[in-house]
Amino acid sequence: MAGVKGQVQRRGVERRRAMVDAAIELFAQQGVRGTGVAAIAERAGVTPSALIHHFGSKDGLVQAVLEEADRRALERLSITRGAEPTLEQAFDWFIRDAEHTATTERELAALHTTLIAENLQGDSVLHTWFRDRGRALRTHLASLFTRAMADGSARAGLDPAILAAETAAFIEGAHLLWLLDPVRVDLTAVHRSYFEGLALRLRP
């Protein structure tokens, strides 16, 4: 019985992954508001009722997609578990993540940008999700810059909050330019140039 139960659980995980992948693709192409549950279910090869059974609602599916995007990014963060990254490690990760996005995760990047544009107003759950996620990112970046000044890898007297906002703005803007014109905007090269220049600016 245990073997049968395990097979059922694996099939459930695979079905859920197929629905999330279908949602990522369709949301990126048509936006969340322009994509119905039935279309996602059809793309994933399941019924609409099966999709609702797994996620509760369309909003639940959107949340699962956003969490999957973050999970994939964190999985690529090859820093020792429990250890805070150094400035050099963090900058290297941002460059490597840009390279990964440019080669294999365009749909997720497009989805991220599309959802932000659709939820700029403060009357939606996703607006709150993106706002809080942005605040968390800037907090982590500010902590990174603060630690770098404390350990001497960055010069003293800088404003960590300003640097964090600048870095977050660069990342969002670079992705938007690349999505609009991937032929002429090299996402990886732009990231490398920015973070190498930032490292020089921060050097003691």
95 in the same domain as 30: no
Report the pLDDT value the prediction gives residue 71, as an integer from 0 to 100. Answer: 83
Q: Which of 18, 44, 65 is the last residue of a domain?
A: 65
Which pLDDT score, from 0 to 100, does residue 184 have?
Answer: 98
Judge whether 10 lies within some domain: yes
* 130, 69 contact by CB (below 8 A): no
Last residue of a domain, one of 31, 65, 99: 65
CA dihedral 88, 138, 161, 86 (to 10 degrees): -20
Domain boundary among 15, 30, 65: 65
The confidence score (pLDDT) of residue 183 equals: 96
> Which segments of the chain have a pLDDT < 50?
4, 80
Same domain assignment for residues 35 and 91: no
Check whether residue 204 and residue 150 sit in a common domain.
yes
Residue 23 belongs to what domain range?
1-65
pLDDT in tens, 105-122: 888 888 888 888 888 888
Count up the domains in the chain and report the number. 2
Q: Is 71 within the bounds of a domain?
A: no
Q: What is the pLDDT of residue 154?
A: 97
pLDDT of residue 9: 65
Domain of 144, CATH number, reads 1.10.357.10
My answer on whether 89 and 189 are in the same domain is: yes
For the chain, how many residues are written?
204
Please indicate, yes or no, if residue 70 is contained in any of the structural domains.
Answer: no
- How high is the pLDDT of residue 7? 57
As to burial, measured by CB atoms within 10 angstroms (0-12 exposed, 13-18 middle, 19+ buried), residue 115 is buried
Residue 29 to residue 60: CA distance in whole angstroms: 19
**For 69-92, b where at least 16 C-beta lie within 10 A, e where not — what string?**
beeeeeeeeeeeeeeebebebbbb
User: Do residue 142 and residue 43 come from a single domain?
Assistant: no
Sequence-distant (≥ 6) Cβ neighbours of residue 134 within 8 angstroms: 168
